[in-house]
Amino acid sequence: MLHQLTASELSEKLHAKEVSAREVTQAFLDRIATEDQHYNAFLTVDAEYALAQADVAQSQLDSGTAGALTGIPVALKDNMSTTGVRTTCASKILDNYVPPFDATVVTKLKEAGATIVGKTNLDEFAMGTTNENSAYGAVHNPWDTERAPGGSSGGSAVAVSAELSALSLGSDTGGSIRFPASLCGIVGFKPTYGRVSRYGLVAFASSLDQIGPFGKSVEDAALLAHVISGYDNLDSTSLKDSQIQINDLKSGSLKGLKIGIPEELFGDEIDPQVKEVFELSVDQLVKEGAIVKHLSLPSIRYGVTTYYLIAPSEASSNLARFDGVRFGPRIESTGHVESFCATRGQLFGDEVKLRIMVGTYALSAGYYDAYYHRAQQVRGMMTEEFENAYKDLDFIISPTSPIVAPPLGGITDQMALKALDLCTIPANMGGFPSISIPCGLAYDLPVGFQLTGPIMSDERLLQASYAIEQAFGREYRRPPIL
């Protein structure tokens, strides 16, 4: 069946004229219509819009101008602007917002001939760890629908894992691509900060946010990363000469690869069975000739605390525009200030309000130096420690998540939830490229293997990840879905 194929396999069939772009798109639209009731992965699906793009893709295939993603269905996290298509950020305050422009990544997808099948569910404004903070209900993990898929890009991860879309895009601020990829048993890649334009991404924390791909395989994720990356003069943080090249993706070797395991990412916080699966995976890499070194990066211990000062501070600033005047609906009250308070108080969810308050406090006069400025100093220290480690290492590895997918509602302690970002946060702090690859099962649920590299090492990272994927010697594991 078409939905069971990887994006690379679908591309081969499309180019060989074994199937049409409309047939592929319709197959996934039909699957969304029948199966997404179990997952709640999509917030908006416009079949007519998707099929119109499929027809454009077919014309490219027929004329010989098609690329690797032509006719391939892609789902978008619903914090990326799409012309004429609702973009909600899973928040009531943007319930009926329809952007007049496309995000740069959307423009690039259209130019590549991909078909956008829908917008996916997320934690409201990308703020959350389990994708239970959406105003439109929690997303359910295909491996066990009573469990969380991880957040905040849970809908995009589930779209690929449940085979509702061949590929998808998410955004990663503190692990929001890699964490759900790990919990859903797929590949999730966060490129170097600045290699993918953030123009048209509704900002959460601007110095941390980065768009990246989900796929069933490293090859699939790399194909999508190649298409969406590159310099964009609409994004002031975009890097020159930054398109990710994948011509040598399959030519890498693990022999002599130097990888490090920080003790701070492999401590008591890691579930024993997750640790065992990870250790077996490392053993396999050693058999393939990789050189493994254990090291200490002390600043990692402060990563979660530092992140939860910097990210809310930037969120406080970025979300100030949603006030019932400039964006979103307005709840009228007895005066302007009262209307402002009513609008934000009733239309923002609890987690968003909490982070705005924390960020506003950290930026306030008298506390800025003690909290936000100090957090930025620790961020710089962490980045320097990683950069020094890369002088002797090619990559740093760890489990992606300290646990497997938790039951929905199973973690009520907010600090315990935030601590789950322990392994993923450092890559965002330094802007480093990082990827999660499935490496096995614990408790019959997926475990992710995380690989993080130096700035602008995306090509080498993907190449090594492809070789690692082959070394694990495991075919893509489908969740127990129809």
Looking up tokens 């791909």, which residue turns up?
Answer: 213
Per-residue pLDDT at 2: 97
Q: Provide, for the chain, the percentages of residues in helix, strand and coil under a 3-state DSSP scheme, each rounded to the nearest 5.
A: 45, 15, 40
Q: Is 176 a catalytic residue?
A: yes
- Euclidean distance between CA atoms 480 and 144, whole angstroms: 8
Q: Is 240 a catalytic residue?
A: no
Per-residue pLDDT at 473: 81
Which residue range(s) make up the domain with 230? Answer: 1-482
Q: Which of 91, 165, 171, 176 is catalytic?
A: 176
Q: What is the mean pLDDT of each run of 10 residues along the chain (482 residues)?
A: 97 98 98 98 97 97 95 98 97 94 98 98 98 98 98 98 98 98 98 98 97 98 98 97 97 96 92 97 97 97 96 95 81 80 88 95 91 96 98 98 98 92 98 98 98 98 97 86 86
Per-residue pLDDT at 476: 81
Contact 76, 50 (CB under 8 A): no
Looking up tokens 């890097």, which residue turns up?
Answer: 239
- Euclidean distance between CA atoms 114 and 95, whole angstroms: 26
Per-residue pLDDT at 232: 98
Q: What's 398's DSSP letter?
A: E
Per-residue pLDDT at 339: 84
Per-residue pLDDT at 376: 97
Three-state DSSP at 274 gives helix
Per-residue pLDDT at 60: 96
| Total domains in the fold of the chain | 1
- Euclidean distance between CA atoms 64 and 81, whole angstroms: 30
Of 81, 80, 115, nearest in space to 7 by CA: 115
Question: What strand order describes the sheet that includes 210-215?
Answer: 42-44, 115-120, 73-77, 167-172, 210-215, 187-190, 434-442, 445-452, 395-399, 258-262, 291-295
- Euclidean distance between CA atoms 297 and 265, whole angstroms: 9
Q: How many CA atoms lie within 13 A of 230 on its CB side?
A: 10
Q: Which of 11, 81, 91, 152 is catalytic?
A: 152
Q: Which of 20, 77, 134, 299 is catalytic?
A: 77
Decide: residue 52, CB within 10 A, 0-12 exposed, 13-18 middle, 19+ buried: middle
- Euclidean distance between CA atoms 262 and 188, whole angstroms: 21
Per-residue pLDDT at 323: 83
390 token code pair? 């890369």
Q: Is 152 a catalytic residue?
A: yes
The CATH number of whichever domain residue 443 belongs to comes to 3.90.1300.10
| Structural element, H or E, at residue 429 | helix 425-430
Per-residue pLDDT at 325: 79
List beta partners, residue 201.
80
Per-residue pLDDT at 482: 81
Q: What's 373's DSSP letter?
A: I
Per-residue pLDDT at 395: 98
